[in-house]
Structure 1
Amino acid sequence: MAGHPLERALEGVRLHVVTGKGGVGKTTVAGALALALARGGRRVLLVEVEGRQGISQTFGVPPLGTEEVRLVQTGGTGGLWGLSVDAKAALLEYLQTFYKLGRAGGALERMGVVDFATTIAPGVRDVLLTGKVYEAVGRTTGSRRGRGDPAWDAVVLDAPPTGRVGRFLAVNEQVAHLARTGPIHTQAQSITRMLRDRRSAVHLVTLLEEMPVQETADAAAELSAAGFGLGAVVVNQLREPVVPDPVLDVAATDPDALADRVRGDLATVGVRSGARTVGGLLSEAADHAARIHLERDLRAEVEALGLPVLALPVLAGGLEDGGVSVLADELRDLGVR
C-alpha cells in the first residue's frame, strides 16, 4: 500500500480526468500529466472532448482527427498518443456497433439527424463523448473487451471545465434511468461504473486567484457528493516572491519604511533615486507583497480541501521551447509516476 498522500491518490488509477475553471491552464496540465505518466514507461492516451484542438496546440502538432496519433515516443513500449473525440463520428460508430446500420448511418448524417442528435438533443453529446473514453479505457489487446492486456496503461481526459464537469460525468446515470432496458441502458450503466470506480480520479486545476479557488472548492464538494473519486489539486502558474519574507512584510504594512533602502540600492547600481522612481518602486513592492500574501491565504484554502496539492511554476517563456516537457518533469519530481 502506498504511504504518501499523492501515491495513495494515484495508486491503481487508469483514467485521469482533468478539469478546472476556464483560463487556468487545464489543457496544459492534462498534457503535462499525460507526458509525465508516459515517461514512466507507460502507454498513455491523452483525450480531448471539447473540439478546441488544445492538444495539437500544446504539443505543436497538426490538428488531431478521430484516430489516435502518437505525440511523443518515450522509449521502449511507452509513449504518448493523442485523440480528439468528435461527437458525430462517435454517434455513427455507436449506431454501427449496436444497431448495424451500415450505409443507413451515412443517410442519417445527410438528413441532418446526426447533427440534431449531437448539437440539440440534451445530453446526447456528452453520452457519446464519455462512451468513447469508456471504450479507450476498456480496450484490450485481445479480440474482445476484457480479454488480454489493456491497450492503454493510462488515459488522461482533458475534461470540460469545473462549471459543467459534474453534469458531464453524471450524464450516463441520467440516461440509464431514462432508458431502462436495452444496449443504451447497459452501456450507460457500464460508463457510470467506470467513472465511479477507484481506478478513475478527477484532478482539479486552479490558479491562486479567488474565483478559480472557489470553483475548485465547489467542484470538489459536488464531485465527491456525486461519488466521483478525487485525485490531486494542481496549483498552476505559481510565482515565487522576488524579495525575502521580512521585506515582503514591511512592504505590505509600511512600504515607506523601505525608502532609504531603495535609494541606497539604486545608488549602488548607478541609478538616480528621484522621488518618482522611488515612489514607483515602493508602490510595486506593496502590490507584490499584497499579491503574495493573498496567494498564501488561497493556498491554505486549497490545502484545506484535504487533497494532495501539486504546485507548478509559471513559465517565463510560456509553452514555447518545450514548456509542457518542463511541467512534466516538475510533476515527476513531485511524485507522479
Structure 2
Amino acid sequence: MADRRGARLHVVTGKGGTGKSTVAAALALALASDGHQVLLCEVEGRQGIARMFDVDPLPYEERRIATGLTVGSGPPPGAVHALHIDAESALLEYLAMYYRLGRAGRALDRFGVIEFATTIAPGVRDVLLTGKVYEAARRNGQAPKGSGRRYDAVVLDAPPTGRIAQFLGVNQELAGLAKMGPIKSQADSIMALFRSDGTRVHLVTVLEEMPVQETVDGITQLREARLPVGSVLVNMVRPRDLDADDLAAARAGEIDVEAVRADLTSVGVDTDDELLDSLLAEARDHAERRALEDAQREVVDRLGVPTYDLPRLASGIDVGALYELAALLKKQGAA
C-alpha cells in the first residue's frame, strides 16, 4: 500500500514537538481511502488519538474512530480503527493466551506484580508493546478465523526518534538472551517483520536545526540496525508566497514603507506608523525564519529518502485539519 512498495506496517517517529502524532493520524486517514481498513496504534500512554479525534479515552481494544479519506469518485473509503496499547494489558493478554492464566493473571495485576515487572525492567515493556503491534500487523487475508480484525495497514504512533531504533530492536536483544525456544522464535519473527519490505519507518521533522539533526541521526541508527527507512515528513512548513528578492529586502529592512502604506490604503485598510512597524517586524521575522528553514531543507534533501511536506495550519489541529493533511499526503503520493 503506502510508500507505493507494499508496506503494511508504518512506524511514525519524530522529535517531540514536531507533530508526530498528528502526522500518524493523518497518514492513517489517507491509507484508509479506497476501501482500505487501517489500525492506528499508540504506545506512549498519552491518549493522544482520543484527543485528536474527539472521542472517549480508548480502552485496550480495537475501536472504529473515523471513516477514511474520500478521494474523488473512487471507491468508498474504509475505516480507521484505533488501539491504545499499554504494557500491563498486553502482559495480561499474553499470560491468558499462552499460559491460560486468566484469573491468575488478573490476581497478579491486583497485587501490582505486573506493574512492578514492567517498571523494573523497561525492556520488558517494549517487548510487550512491540509484540502487540506485531500481532496486529501480521493479520492479513490468510490469517486464521478468530484471530481478530484484518487490516490492510497498521500505523504506529511510535516513541520519539531518539529511541526508535532501540524500541524496534528490543526483540533482537531478547532473541540473543533466549538462545532457543518459543520466546526466541517469537522475537525472531517480530524482528523479521520489522526488517522486512512490509515495514516502513517514517520520520517527522520541522525545518529547525535540532529536529533535523535528530532526523539525520535517527536515519543513521535505523540503517545500522537494518530497519527500513520510509520517508521524511516535513511538518509545519511556512508559506512560500514571497520570492527571494522580497525575503532579502525584508531581512535587510529595505522594504518600501510607503509602497506598503499605499497598498493597504488601496484595499481600505487604515494605516498608521505603529501598524506599519508591526507588519515590517513580522515580515523580517518571517524572512529570517525562511532563511533558517531553507538551510535545513538542504540538509533534508541530502538524506536521499522520499520527502513530503505538510503546512503550518493557522487554525490548529482538529478532525477537519487531520483530513486536510491526509488529502495532502495522498496528493503527494505518501499514501
TM-score by length of 1: 0.90
Q: How does 1:39-58 map to 2 (within 5 A)?
A: 39-58=33-52
1:73 is matched with 67
Task: Measure how far apart 1:101 and its partner are.
Answer: 2.3
CA distance in 1, matches of 2:269, 2:204: 44
CA distance in 1, matches of 2:242, 2:173: 53
2:71 is matched with none
**Partner of residue 53 from structure 2, selected from 52, 59, 62:** 59
1:244 is matched with 243
In structure 2, runs of 5+ residues without a counterpart are: 69-74
2:82 is matched with 82
**Partner of residue 315 from structure 2, selected from 314, 317, 336:** 317
Q: Are residues 8 and 32 of structure 1, via their aligned partners in 2, closer, same or farther at CA, if it must alter by over 3 Å? A: closer
SS, match of residue 256 in structure 2 = helix
SS, match of residue 322 in structure 1 = helix
CA distance in 1, matches of 2:33, 2:292: 35
Q: Are residues 236 and 170 of structure 1, via their aligned partners in 2, closer, same or farther at CA, if it must alter by over 3 Å? A: same
1:290 and 2:288 matched: yes
Q: What letter corresponds to residue 302 of structure 2 in structure 1?
A: A
CA distance in 2, matches of 1:143, 1:320: 35
Task: Measure how far apart 1:248 and its partner are.
Answer: 1.1
Task: Measure how far apart 1:267 and its partner are.
Answer: 4.9
1:132 and 2:126 matched: no
CA distance in 2, matches of 1:259, 1:241: 22
Q: How does 1:43-192 map to 2 (within 5 A)?
A: 43-74=37-68, 78-140=78-140, 144=144, 151-192=150-191
1:13 is matched with 7
Task: Measure how far apart 1:239 and its partner are.
Answer: 1.2
Any conservation in 1 of the 2:3–2:333 contact (CA below 8 Å)?
no
CA distance in 1, matches of 2:76, 2:319: 25
CA distance in 1, matches of 2:97, 2:124: 17
Task: Measure how far apart 1:294 and its partner are.
Answer: 1.2
SS, match of residue 31 in structure 2 = helix
1:3 is matched with none
Any conservation in 1 of the 2:92–2:102 contact (CA below 8 Å)?
no
2:195 is matched with 196
1:108-144 per-position Cα deviation (integer Å, ceiling 9, x unaligned):
2223221111222130000000000010011246674
Q: Are residues 267 and 219 of structure 1, via their aligned partners in 2, closer, same or farther at CA, if it must alter by over 3 Å? A: same
SS, match of residue 130 in structure 2 = helix
Q: What letter corresponds to residue 72 of structure 1 in structure 2?
A: A
Any conservation in 2 of the 1:140–1:148 contact (CA below 8 Å)?
no
1:19-48 per-position Cα deviation (integer Å, ceiling 9, x unaligned):
000111111100000100001321110000
Any conservation in 1 of the 2:32–2:77 contact (CA below 8 Å)?
no
Q: Are residues 76 and 149 of structure 1, via their aligned partners in 2, closer, same or farther at CA, if it must alter by over 3 Å? A: farther
Task: Measure how far apart 1:279 and its partner are.
Answer: 4.0
1:287-320 per-position Cα deviation (integer Å, ceiling 9, x unaligned):
2111111111111111111111110111121123
SS, match of residue 204 in structure 2 = strand
CA distance in 1, matches of 2:191, 2:119: 22
TM-score by length of 2: 0.90
2:27 is matched with 33
- Please provide the CA RMSD for this pair: 2.4
Q: What letter corresponds to residue 221 of structure 1 in structure 2?
A: T
Q: What letter corresponds to residue 205 of structure 1 in structure 2?
A: V
Any conservation in 1 of the 2:19–2:235 contact (CA below 8 Å)?
yes
Any conservation in 1 of the 2:161–2:215 contact (CA below 8 Å)?
yes
Give the stretch that moved more between structures: 202-211 or 254-263.
254-263
Give the stretch that moved more between structures: 263-272 or 219-228.
263-272
Task: Measure how far apart 1:325 and its partner are.
Answer: 0.7
Q: What letter corresponds to residue 158 of structure 1 in structure 2?
A: D
Between the two proteins, the alignment pairs up a number of residues equal to 328
Q: Are residues 113 and 282 of structure 1, via their aligned partners in 2, closer, same or farther at CA, if it must alter by over 3 Å? A: same
CA distance in 1, matches of 2:237, 2:318: 18
CA distance in 2, matches of 1:331, 1:69: 24
Any conservation in 1 of the 2:58–2:84 contact (CA below 8 Å)?
yes
